[in-house]
Amino acid sequence: MSKRMIKALIGGALLGIICVVGAYVRSDFTASWIVVFSLWFNRVVIGLVVGAPWPVTDTKKSLLRGAILGLLVSFAFYSSTGFTDYISFIAGIAYGVILETWLNRKSNKA
């Protein structure tokens, strides 16, 4: 497994924890563990697809790729909520961009 993939999976898991805490608070601490786990796992999957061995490209294209991959993966969770949890959907797009930014830092290319 490549370093990029490992970093992306760890990043997805950590962002998933942040997302789960936010979702749990937004639900007034009533969200079921199944929904919470599904949301966390969705973020790990975003890490998986963003961390795949994509061709090297410039920063703008990689950030767009992160946004598109975040949109596609988080749409699965969004549709499973009956299209009601738009905040988690938008966060998934942002998390794709955050992961690409983290993976493409100048210090990672040295």
Query: Quick check: 107 pLDDT over 80?
Result: no
pLDDT digits (tens, 9 = 90+) for 63-94: 999 999 999 999 999 999 999 999 999 999 99
What pTM, to 2 d.p., does this model score?
0.91
User: Domain spans of the chain?
Assistant: 3-108
**CA-based torsion, 5, 66, 86, 77: positive or negative:** negative
